[in-house]
Amino acid sequence: MNFVPITERDQQAMLAAAGVDAFERLLSIPPGIPRAKWNLPKGLSEPELTGLLTGQAARNRTVRTEVSFLGAGATEHWIPSVVRYLFSRGEFLTAYTPYQPEASQGTLQAMYEFQSMICDLTGMAVANASLYEGASALAEAVVLALRATGRNRVAISRTVHPEYRQTLKTYLAGSEAALDLLPHRDGAVDPAAESKITDQTACLVLQLPNAFGCIEEWAALIRKAKAQGALVIVSADPIALSVVRPPAEIGADIVVGEGQALGTPLLYGGPYLGLFACREELLRRLPGRIVGRTRDANGRRGFVLTIQTREQHIRRSRATSNICTNEAMMALNAAVYLAALGKSGFRELGVQNLSKARYAHQTLTALPGVEPLFDRPFFNEFALSLPKDPEQVNAELLKRGFLGGLALKRWDPKLANGWLVCVTEARSKEQIDRFAEALREILR
Amino acid sequence: MKESIPTAEAETQPVEGLLPVEPLLKELSSSGRRAFELPPLDVPAVDPARALPADWVRREPVPLPEVSELDLVRHFLRLAHLNFSVETHFYPLGSCTMKYNPKINEELSALSGFTDLHPYQPEESVQGMLGLLWELEGLFREILGMARVTLQPAAGAHGEFTALLMTRAYHASRGEKRRKVILPDSAHGTNPASAALCGFEVVEIPSNARGRVSLEAVRKAVDGETALLMMTNPNTLGLFEEEVLKISEAVHAAGGLMYLDGANMNALLGLVRPGDMGFDMVHVNIHKTFSIPHGSGGPGGGPVGVGPALAPFLPGPLVEEREGAFRLVSPEQSIGRVRSFFGNVNALIRAYVYIRALGGAGLKRVAEGAILNANYLKAKVSEALEIAVDEPCMHEFIATAAPLKKATGVRALDIAKRLLDYGFYAPTIYFPLIVPEALMIEPSETESRATLDAFAEALSRIVAEARTDPDRVRRAPRNCPVSRLDEVQAAREPDLRW
Amino acid sequence: MADLEKLKYTKTHEWIRVEGNKGVVGITDHAQQEISDVVFVEVPALGKTVGAGEEAAVVESVKSAFSIYAPVAGKVARANEELAKNPGRVNAAPYAEGWIFELEGIDAGNLEGLMDLPQYEQFVQGKEA
């Protein structure tokens, strides 16, 4: 395909205007540098591309062709058609970052609305216009805490998603910071772990619900963190916040999370949506872009990117973060999604998730040999213990048209029989019953 | 909300109660309205107050707006109409490569066989997806002249950060702890920001009179503490760094590594490859060179290509072919991961479609078209504004409004705002920092001559206005939904949520 | 109005009003014009020790951040908390209500390298030429 409109005639005229008689004269590439020699396939037309890509797509099983009970940080929810429709609008999709606000009021207002709704969900005063995804958002929160407190130690629960902890470790490699891992007991952070929170601790990092789907008890840990002057960082599932208390009310200083569940499909892991919200006092340390309301020269309300002096294009090496491009379209998805559900719909969503997961939990644990792994409250995800290797079970389930839960040995060899099952509003009773039947057969 | 004082630029007296262009969702909200219905619950309903511990129960529902589907569609469509976008306007934004975003990218990346994949599905169930990603890595290797490519970073800055982490790991593996990163004063802000985030000390060296990285300055700055030199080629003035091989030599001789900020890859496609210029690592921006849309700020993607010495340190997982199947594998000395899951996969699919659509010859034509368009536009613009460095450029060039400011008081900012009135998005302004009143102009290869002529004409008119009626330019824009916004008030008293 | 002639000035456009071993520091009118509307001032922490020429504060406009350097070595005794609510004071009254911080423990001998008003005015004119 070709998108370059320059014709032969254009080329002649343009070269003349540029004052040269041949294109080569425009290049100042010295002879010592070899010219590119590459071996790339020939270009294809739209019909050929369609043939190629549909063939590749067809070689995948999906959560449409199979019935999925996989969660573990990426969840399947019903997405209103309105979300996809607005995502496809070129006025948003092909617009640039809103640095010229007069030409970007659509984007800026949509982001302001997104920020507002994230504040509503988390109870925080301030939310930015997105980071890349949940794990790097958590890392950015920790970096903020290290810089704000001037301390070196990070108290982080082992019940935080392993890929988030790995990402954090990578981000902090080579710095003076050290991670103090808080042990877990029966699927939740061990309250006795508070001894690891000292006056050297920059922040306490927790997850809601945790990586095993459990809702933990934090009162003692948070009290200790506050007493020691450490910041409290909570990584939260935004859908759970429909029925679960906002982390701001239990003492969080920063709330981060993965916003994929808010209107973005699974997409094999990305692009997703990093959420970042914090208390007002931390505003000047906030990473990423933020939109503010103001007025124009005629007094008309408008929106602008604000307090940009924190950002890389102004502060360079002293910026709060290096982030430039973010996940604006996914934030748009989230804004549309939350508005489409609205106050009552979002609550109903939470109740459906809670109810379906409980029904599934009851049904599955009624099968011989299947036990809950932990005895904890949960939202839409829970861990079970299977009498057979969960990876074998999943292979059998796939033959029957199901994507089974995550085999927890992938995260922790000590949980060799653990199986993390996610049940959202997208699973019907009938699907859950068939899943249980299939499992019964496999375990026989 | 506190009333703010409009700036001195106000054309008329501020009208109290001037209606906003579009209400906020909250203002459209009406109790009881709802857009999206869920299927009825088919299992026994569970009361959150029973299922959750007492101190975890949310007391009040989240106060989200309540609107109908029509309200929602109208609201966001009306917001959409307030935006400029590539689909409707020319964006001569230097350093951004605002080329046309092909629709076939959108159509094919939206196939259910790609969008409905869970990242933790068993590998055997996603062989089509893994095969595509493996192929994409191969295409980037070939385009960049690199040994391996990670597709994990979510943006260019994320790619820079990843490369810096690999740099540290590389030196550590050789028992060295080098603290410094050298970069030119013309570098994009993310370069020093990424280096600082990674804990390196930034050493900034001056550009020479021809706007290039000074080889002499490099030789002076480079020593046993140099971990990495980061540069952009062509640089942020749109000029090819002719001494790149010698710079590379100097850095390598001192034991350091060379990094290419590939934001300007659009000028190099099919002409020269980063791997052939002495670079050990390079990132590209798929939302620039590789045609995926900018999305009002994102998502993007910043794949990083590396030479063989750096390959063991790449973040994992990578896709590899083992015994006829595609597998996810982490390199032996991997730095770990810089994010959850594989990467911005659905964005990467768009880049894959683009590369397969253009093929080798098509990609080369991109660079040729970009360079031709830029030089043509430079010739036309030079009739209105002074060009910062008077020689052939690559895909972008810098004009300066400094003389105009001196003569009329009209600045680059004012020109930018007045261009909006003429129906053009503004060029990048005040970057790079080394040129005063800079306008960085990059037409990209997908624009026609007629568009370029119209843009140059608009600039000429604005310069003429500056000389005869400067206030007209300084009060711009006047044809946009809002006029100049009070950014001072927005920063002094932040109002960041409804 | 502050008596400008009693102040000492730096090449980086700070002024200092010395009384005994204390000195109040701010930025000059020339500086506030260059910076234009101040939106935020990052004042130094009380008790912080700064060397001469070391960055002590940051003044931000919408588009830029400017380092404010200590004219002489000393310890931060006071910082202008009013600027948190009214950063615009730096523009409106750079020599009076727009003061930024006060140092104590100053050695009067260290003031020798600083300019007086005529020297500073000449310095500014030289720059603008």
CB-CB under 8 Å, B340 with A164: yes
What separation in angstroms does the CA of A438 have from each of A355, A396, B182? 21, 9, 60
Question: Which pLDDT belongs to residue C2?
Answer: 58
Whether B297 and B414 map to the same domain: the answer is no
pLDDT category of residue B12 using cuts at 50, 70 and 90: very low
Residue A30 has phi, psi (to 5 degrees) of -65, 150
Domain range for residue C8? Answer: 4-124
Question: Which pLDDT belongs to residue B17?
Answer: 58
d(CA A350, CA A209): 13
CATH code of residue B422: 3.90.1150.10
Whether A348 and A312 map to the same domain: the answer is no
Q: How many CB atoms neighbour CB C73 within 10 A?
A: 16
Residues A229, A235, A240, A241, CA torsion sign = positive
* Nearest-neighbour CA in chain C from B477: distance (Å): 19
Whether A408 and A352 map to the same domain: the answer is yes
Domain range for residue A291? Answer: 81-337
* B422–chain C Cβ distance below 8 A for any pair: no
Chain B residue with minimal CA distance to C61?
B488
Whether B348 and B374 map to the same domain: the answer is no
pLDDT digits 0-9 by tens, B15-40: 455 788 899 999 999 999 999 999 99
Buried b (16+ CB within 10 A) or exposed e, C21-52: ebbbbbbbbbbbeebebbbbbbbbeeeeebeb
CB-CB under 8 Å, A42 with B360: yes
pLDDT category of residue C108 using cuts at 50, 70 and 90: confident
Is residue A49 included in any domain, yes or no? no
Whether A73 and A175 map to the same domain: the answer is no
CB-CB under 8 Å, A40 with B139: yes
d(CA B459, CA B377): 11
What separation in angstroms does the CA of B327 have from each of A28, A210, B124, B127, B140? 43, 28, 9, 8, 19
CATH code of residue A318: 3.40.640.10
Last residue of a domain, one of B308, B328, B357: B357
* Nearest-neighbour CA in chain B from C58: distance (Å): 15
CB-CB under 8 Å, B491 with C60: yes
pLDDT digits 0-9 by tens, A181-205: 999 999 999 989 999 999 999 999 9
Whether A183 and A330 map to the same domain: the answer is yes
| A contact residues 298-317, partner C, Cβ 8 Å cutoff | 307-309, 314-315
d(CA B61, CA A278): 20
pLDDT category of residue B440 using cuts at 50, 70 and 90: very high
| B contact residues 251-280, partner A, Cβ 8 Å cutoff | 268-273, 276-277
Last residue of a domain, one of A281, A310, A337: A337
Whether A224 and A327 map to the same domain: the answer is yes
Question: Which pLDDT belongs to residue B14?
Answer: 43
Question: Which pLDDT belongs to residue B10?
Answer: 37
- B118: which 2 tokens? 């869970």
Buried b (16+ CB within 10 A) or exposed e, A176-200: ebeebebebeebbbbeebbebbeee
CB-CB under 8 Å, B43 with A359: yes
Is residue B36 included in any domain, yes or no? no
Domain count, chain B: 2
| DSSP annotation string for B29-51 | --TT--S-PPPPP-S----HHHH
Is residue B91 included in any domain, yes or no? no
Domain range for residue B163? Answer: 105-357
Is residue B56 included in any domain, yes or no? no
CATH code of residue C8: 2.40.50.100
* Nearest-neighbour CA in chain C from A313: distance (Å): 10
Say how many residues make up chain C: 129
* Nearest-neighbour CA in chain B from C121: distance (Å): 22
CB-CB under 8 Å, A298 with B10: yes
Is residue B245 included in any domain, yes or no? yes
CATH code of residue B154: 3.40.640.10
Q: Which residues of C touch B491 (CB under 8 A)?
A: 39-40, 60, 62
CB-CB under 8 Å, A34 with B272: yes
Domain count, chain A: 2
pLDDT digits 0-9 by tens, C46-100: 999 999 999 999 999 998 899 999 999 999 999 999 999 999 999 999 999 999 9
Whether A92 and A195 map to the same domain: the answer is yes
Is residue A2 included in any domain, yes or no? no
| DSSP annotation string for A8-33 | HHHHHHHHHHTT-SSGGGG----TTS
Chain A: touching chains (3 or more CB pairs < 8 Å):
B, C
Mean pLDDT of chain B: 94
Whether B154 and B296 map to the same domain: the answer is yes
Q: Which residues of B touch A86 (CB under 8 A)?
A: 73, 76-77, 80
* B193–chain C Cβ distance below 8 A for any pair: no
Is residue B492 included in any domain, yes or no? no
Whether A321 and A346 map to the same domain: the answer is no
pLDDT digits 0-9 by tens, B456-471: 999 999 999 999 999 9
CB-CB under 8 Å, C40 with A314: no
pLDDT category of residue B6 using cuts at 50, 70 and 90: very low
Interval B296-310 mean pLDDT: 97
Q: With beta carbons less than 8 A apart as the criterion, state whether A370 and A387 touch.
A: yes
d(CA B280, CA B282): 7
Is residue C44 included in any domain, yes or no? yes
Is residue B274 included in any domain, yes or no? yes
Last residue of a domain, one of A337, A358, A391: A337
CB-CB under 8 Å, B491 with C62: yes
Is residue B241 included in any domain, yes or no? yes
What separation in angstroms does the CA of B275 have from each of A37, B60, B95, B329, B370? 12, 58, 21, 24, 21
CB-CB under 8 Å, B492 with C88: yes
The complex's ipTM works out to 0.97
Whether A183 and A297 map to the same domain: the answer is yes
**Ranges of chain A with pLDDT below 50:** none
* Nearest-neighbour CA in chain C from B288: distance (Å): 25
Give me the residue label for tokens 């920001």. B193
pTM: 0.95
Q: With beta carbons less than 8 A apart as the criterion, state whether C60 and C40 touch.
A: yes
pLDDT digits 0-9 by tens, B98-111: 999 999 999 999 99
CB-CB under 8 Å, B295 with A95: yes
Q: With beta carbons less than 8 A apart as the criterion, state whether A270 and B292 touch.
A: no
Domain count, chain C: 1
Whether A138 and A269 map to the same domain: the answer is yes
User: Rg of the Cα trace of chain A?
Assistant: 25
Nearest to A315 among C39, C62, C65 (CB): C65
Q: Which residues of A touch B189 (CB under 8 A)?
A: 311-316, 319, 324
* C67–chain A Cβ distance below 8 A for any pair: no
Whether B178 and B313 map to the same domain: the answer is yes
List CB contacts of B146: < 8 A, sequence separation 6 or more. B140, B274, B275, B282, B305, B306, B307
d(CA B20, CA B7): 18
Is residue A31 included in any domain, yes or no? no
* B496–chain A Cβ distance below 8 A for any pair: yes
Give me the residue label for tokens 């029509």. B70
Q: What is the SS3 string spanning B319-367?
A: EEEECCEEEEECCCCCCCCCCCCCCCHHHHHHHHHHHHHHHHHHHHHHH
Whether B141 and B260 map to the same domain: the answer is yes
d(CA A364, CA A367): 6
Last residue of a domain, one of B323, B357, B391: B357
| B contact residues 125-144, partner A, Cβ 8 Å cutoff | 125-129, 131-132, 139, 142-143
Whether B329 and B373 map to the same domain: the answer is no
* Nearest-neighbour CA in chain C from B176: distance (Å): 31
Nearest to B487 among C62, C87, C88 (CB): C62
Is residue B85 included in any domain, yes or no? no
CB-CB under 8 Å, C39 with B492: yes
* A395–chain B Cβ distance below 8 A for any pair: yes
pLDDT digits 0-9 by tens, B147-170: 999 999 999 999 999 999 999 999
* B2–chain C Cβ distance below 8 A for any pair: no
Is residue C129 included in any domain, yes or no? no
- A124: which 2 tokens? 């925080």
Last residue of a domain, one of A302, A317, A337: A337
